[in-house]
């Protein structure tokens, strides 16, 4: 079916200045070409698309990004005290000189360029493959755009218990940068890997992460999307996880004009566990969208979606979360909660929780709430001598606690809480 | 210590006068009790003293050691030494009991210009106080009042009182929802805090709490006023004859 003209035109305009990367091996080139074909067929999102009802795609769609001022702050960088392997990107471009050597036991890291130039590479089974799976039943055009055009990125494989997290540091230094980054990650059977991401990355940021977790593997992902106020970002996680595997992802978003974080997770093996959580803080010009789709396609898997947003002064938060339980995925344990704390009357939260279940022996629960700070709790704290602002902050952190608890590593969680605390204490 | 003079209060939302001129003075070191039938304004008095929203003071005054209470924010009243033991302690999911108490204690100290308590000193103090109230480490670790039984909640109130060491303690129906053993434990906790420099205002429906916390003076409150004051024997009179006789007598 041909695209509506407006959509076709917008897609064409966006693609006009882009050229498919060259120099890749046949498998990589055809993955890119396929992605471009997918994108041309589906078109970029339009304001009338059902999946984009709550979030305007304009800033993400436009041929060029809007300028985004750099954000100066003297805050101590996140994860500073954590032993990790650091890899630095400046506006989406790898800075090898500022990065640690890609060497760690049980870990293989290559650039996307190097990996896709090889005729034979394991990444062939992941690159563009998981993204393609994520295009059904709902289109994710920016995922396809990324597969087709991203030249920067990493291909990471964990073959054992990787002792240090791989820490990707995204610096934003150019007010007009338009960056795409693609990560291909494979956690082999029984292996474990933690990936940290932090920083605002670029004026406009399109990041895609494809993650394959083999049986009994475990993957932890903690990211903080930087504090730049004007940047826009669209990110995707495409994950497929095996039997008895563990997948955990947590995202902190404080500030940012526009953020859409999509996650598509397939639970393909029995007794897998997938948790995805987010804490978002918005004040003023802030639109934050979590769009999550978890498919249970195996027996006795557990999934949790925990998303909390603190909004004020015109900030908007949206959540579209779905649990799909396929026929035969018995003993599924699915949980989904999306909540917003509206600190004033101007903030807005839009939520669309969905369950679609084709198995008869499952336990799925979901809830979505929107509210202000509990006046009774506030008075109780004040009556004990806690000043108003401090009491409000304490209750705000308490509201976010369930999402923070999804971070297993205590030191990392403490770092995130400190960041939240700082954000709150800077506001009156 | 606490001086309330002709205090008149109405509900903010509706035109309903609750307190119609309450006058009361609790000297330092004294324990006063307020008894009265439902709807007499006892709990309103405790809320107005502690600064809860929703009430409008239409006349009169309330002072703590000469300081005008009604001008202060709730946290300032707490720092000045006022403590309200809630009839219904509030559950606060996500805020650990220890964090809560430490934050409160240090906030009060800070506002009085005192040094904050170190984590180690705080821990030592709270363990000691918790032990005498039979509050275990598990309860301290949990979120404030979440999943606590009625008795545990009230014991937690007394623990907070013991930690914060207020000058003026207002106990709002602390006996409600307690069985005999729990009431005894709570009363012991209160009695342990009795001292020359600390006063208590014990609000209750029933005389039985006053068996354990012996008051110096008992006030009877009805229809927004103190209608009669006397010694502990007044509480016994209520216990034996109900409020009707007293109300008739003063009418």
Please name the member of A390, A398, A402 whose beta carbon is closest to the beta carbon of B92: A398
Domain residue limits, chain A: 5-373
Whether B48 contacts chain A with CB within 8 A: no
Instruction: Tally the C-alpha atoms within 13 A of residue A409's C-alpha that lie toward its C-beta.
Output: 22
What confidence category does residue A370 fall into, taking pLDDT thresholds of 50, 70 and 90? very high
What confidence category does residue A112 fall into, taking pLDDT thresholds of 50, 70 and 90? very high
Pairing outcome for strands A152-158 and A107-111? antiparallel
Residues of chain B with pLDDT > 70: what percent?
A: 100
Q: Do B73 and A380 touch (CB under 8 A)?
A: no
Is it the case that residue B250 has pLDDT exceeding 90? no
Burial of B110 (0-12, 13-18, 19+ CB in 10 A): middle
Residues A253-263 have a mean pLDDT of 96
What confidence category does residue A393 fall into, taking pLDDT thresholds of 50, 70 and 90? very high
User: Which is nearest to B26 in space by CA: B64, B78, B52, B57?
Assistant: B64
Q: Do B74 and A382 touch (CB under 8 A)?
A: yes
Q: Would you tell me which CATH number, out of the four given (3.40.50.300, 2.60.40.420, 3.30.43.10, 3.40.50.740), belongs to the domain B2-90+166-250?
A: 3.40.50.300
B-chain residues within 8 Å CB-CB of A395? 92, 94-95
Is it the case that residue B243 has pLDDT exceeding 90? no
Of the given ranges (A276-290, B208-222, B232-246), which has the lowest mean pLDDT? B232-246
CA distance A95 to A415: 25
Instruction: Kindly identify which residue of chain A lies nearest to residue B161, measuring between CA atoms.
Output: A384
Q: Specify the pLDDT at position B177.
A: 82
Residues B134-160 have a mean pLDDT of 91
* B204 CA to centre of own chain: 10
Is it the case that residue A428 has pLDDT exceeding 90? no
SS (H, E, C) A80-97: CCCCCEEEEEECCEEEHH
Is it the case that residue B181 has pLDDT exceeding 90? no
A239 compared with B244, residue with greater pLDDT: A239
B-chain residues within 8 Å CB-CB of A383? 50-52, 74-75, 77-78, 84, 86
CA distance A173 to A177: 8
Is it the case that residue B217 has pLDDT exceeding 90? yes
Q: Do B108 and A390 touch (CB under 8 A)?
A: no
Q: Specify the pLDDT at position A108.
A: 97
* A79 CA to centre of own chain: 18
User: Across chain A, what does the average pLDDT equal?
Assistant: 96
Q: What is the pLDDT of residues A399-411, one digit of tens each?
A: 999 999 999 999 9
Q: Which long-range contacts (CB under 8 A, 24 or more apart) does B123-128 make?
A: B125/B163, B126/B98, B126/B101, B126/B159, B126/B163
Is it the case that residue A327 has pLDDT exceeding 90? yes
What confidence category does residue A47 fall into, taking pLDDT thresholds of 50, 70 and 90? confident
B-chain residues within 8 Å CB-CB of A376? 90
How close is the nearest chain A Cα to the Cα of B79, in Å? 6
Q: Which tokens hold the place of A403?
A: 């999402």
B-chain residues within 8 Å CB-CB of A386? 75, 103-104, 107
Whether B192 contacts chain A with CB within 8 A: no
Domain residue limits, chain B: 2-90+166-250
Q: What is the pLDDT of residues A185-215, one digit of tens each?
A: 999 999 999 999 999 999 999 999 999 999 9
Picking from B64, B94, B167 by the largest number of A CB atoms within 10 A of its own CB, the best residue to mutate is: B94
Is it the case that residue B146 has pLDDT exceeding 70? yes
Q: Specify the pLDDT at position B72.
A: 96
Is it the case that residue B176 has pLDDT exceeding 90? no
Q: Do B94 and A399 touch (CB under 8 A)?
A: yes
- The Cα diameter of chain A in Å comes to 69
Q: What is the pLDDT of residues A300-309, one digit of tens each?
A: 999 999 999 9
Q: What distances in angstroms separate CA A53 from CA A219, A291, A306, A319, B245, one per listed residue?
A: 32, 12, 22, 11, 69
Q: Specify the pLDDT at position A1.
A: 60
Strands (E) in A135-257, as ranges, are 152-158, 166-171, 178-187, 192-198, 204-213, 218-224, 232-241, 246-254
Is it the case that residue A230 has pLDDT exceeding 70? yes
Instruction: Kindly identify which residue of chain A lies nearest to residue B48, measuring between CA atoms.
Output: A383
Q: Do B73 and A399 touch (CB under 8 A)?
A: no
Q: Specify the pLDDT at position A376.
A: 96
Q: What is the pLDDT of residues A60-111, one digit of tens each?
A: 999 999 999 998 887 888 999 999 999 999 999 999 999 999 999 999 999 9
Q: What is the pLDDT of residues A120-139, one digit of tens each?
A: 999 999 999 999 999 999 99
C-beta neighbour count of A421 within 10 angstroms = 14
């Amino acid at each position: 079916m041909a695209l509506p003209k407006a959509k076709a035109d917008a897609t064409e305009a966006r693609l006009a200045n882009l050229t498919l990367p060259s120099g890749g091996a046949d498998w990589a080139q055809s993955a890119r070409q396929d992605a471009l074909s997918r994108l041309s067929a589906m078109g970029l999102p339009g304001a009338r698309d059902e999946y984009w009802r709550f979030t305007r795609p304009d800033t993400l769609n436009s041929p060029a990004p809007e300028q985004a001022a750099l954000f100066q702050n003297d805050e101590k960088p996140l994860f500073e005290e954590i032993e990790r392997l650091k890899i630095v990107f400046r506006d989406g471009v790898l800075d090898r000189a500022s990065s640690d050597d890609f060497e760690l036991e049980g870990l293989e890291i290559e650039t996307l360029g190097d990996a896709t130039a090889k005729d034979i590479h394991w990444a062939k089974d992941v690159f563009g493959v998981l993204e393609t799976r994520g295009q059904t039943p709902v289109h994710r055009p920016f995922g396809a755009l990324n597969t087709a055009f991203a030249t920067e990125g990493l291909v990471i494989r964990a073959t054992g218990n990787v002792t240090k997290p791989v820490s990707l540091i995204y610096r934003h230094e150019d007010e007009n940068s338009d960056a795409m980054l693609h990560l291909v990650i494979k956690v082999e059977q029984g292996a474990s890997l933690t990936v940290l991401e932090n920083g605002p990355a670029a004026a406009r940021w399109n990041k895609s992460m494809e993650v394959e977790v083999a049986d009994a593997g475990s993957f932890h992902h903690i990211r903080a999307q930087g504090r730049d106020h004007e940047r826009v970002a669209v990110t995707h996680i495409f994950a497929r996880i095996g039997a008895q595997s563990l997948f955990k992802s947590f995202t902190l978003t404080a500030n940012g004009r526009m953020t859409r974080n999509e996650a598509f997770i397939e639970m393909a093996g029995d007794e897998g566990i997938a948790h995805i959580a987010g804490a978002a803080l918005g004040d003023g010009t802030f639109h934050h969208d979590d769009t999550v789709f978890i498919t249970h396609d195996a027996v006795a898997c557990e999934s949790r979606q925990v998303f909390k947003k603190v909004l004020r002064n015109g900030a908007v938060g949206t959540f579209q979360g779905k649990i799909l339980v396929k026929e035969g995925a018995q003993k599924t344990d699915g949980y989904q909660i999306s909540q917003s704390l509206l600190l004033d009357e101007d903030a807005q939260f839009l939520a669309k929780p969905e369950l679609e279940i084709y198995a008869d022996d499952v336990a799925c629960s979901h809830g979505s709430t929107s509210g202000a700070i509990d006046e009774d709790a506030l008075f109780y704290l004040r009556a004990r001598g806690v000043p108003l602002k401090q009491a409000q902050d304490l209750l705000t952190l308490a509201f976010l606690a369930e999402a923070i608890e999804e971070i297993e590593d205590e030191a990392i969680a403490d770092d995130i809480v400190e960041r939240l605390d700082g954000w709150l204490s800077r506001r009156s | 210590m606490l001086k309330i003079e002709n205090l008149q209060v109405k509900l903010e939302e509706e035109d309903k006068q609750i307190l119609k001129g309450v006058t009361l003075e609790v000297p330092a070191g004294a324990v006063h009790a307020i008894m009265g039938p439902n709807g007499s304004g006892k709990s309103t008095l405790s809320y107005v003293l502690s600064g809860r929203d929703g009430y409008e003071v239409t006349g009169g005054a309330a002072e703590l050691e000469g300081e005008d209470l009604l001008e202060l924010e709730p946290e300032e009243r707490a720092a000045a030494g006022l403590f309200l033991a809630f009839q219904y302690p509030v559950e606060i999911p996500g805020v650990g009991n220890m964090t809560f108490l430490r934050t409160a204690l240090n906030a009060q100290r800070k506002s009085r210009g005192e040094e904050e308590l170190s984590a180690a000193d705080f821990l030592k103090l709270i363990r000691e106080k918790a032990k005498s109230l039979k509050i275990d480490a598990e309860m301290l670790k949990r979120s404030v009042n979440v999943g606590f039984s009625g008795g545990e909640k009230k014991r937690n109130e007394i623990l907070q009182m013991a930690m914060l060491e207020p000058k003026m303690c207002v106990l709002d129906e602390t006996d409600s929802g307690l069985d005999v053993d729990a009431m005894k434990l709570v009363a012991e906790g209160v009695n342990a805090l009795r001292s020359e420099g600390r006063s208590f205002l014990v609000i209750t429906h029933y005389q039985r709490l006053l068996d354990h916390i012996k008051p110096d003076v008992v006030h009877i409150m009805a229809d927004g006023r103190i209608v009669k004051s006397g010694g502990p024997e007044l509480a016994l009179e209520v216990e034996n004859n109900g409020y009707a006789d007293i109300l008739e007598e003063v009418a």
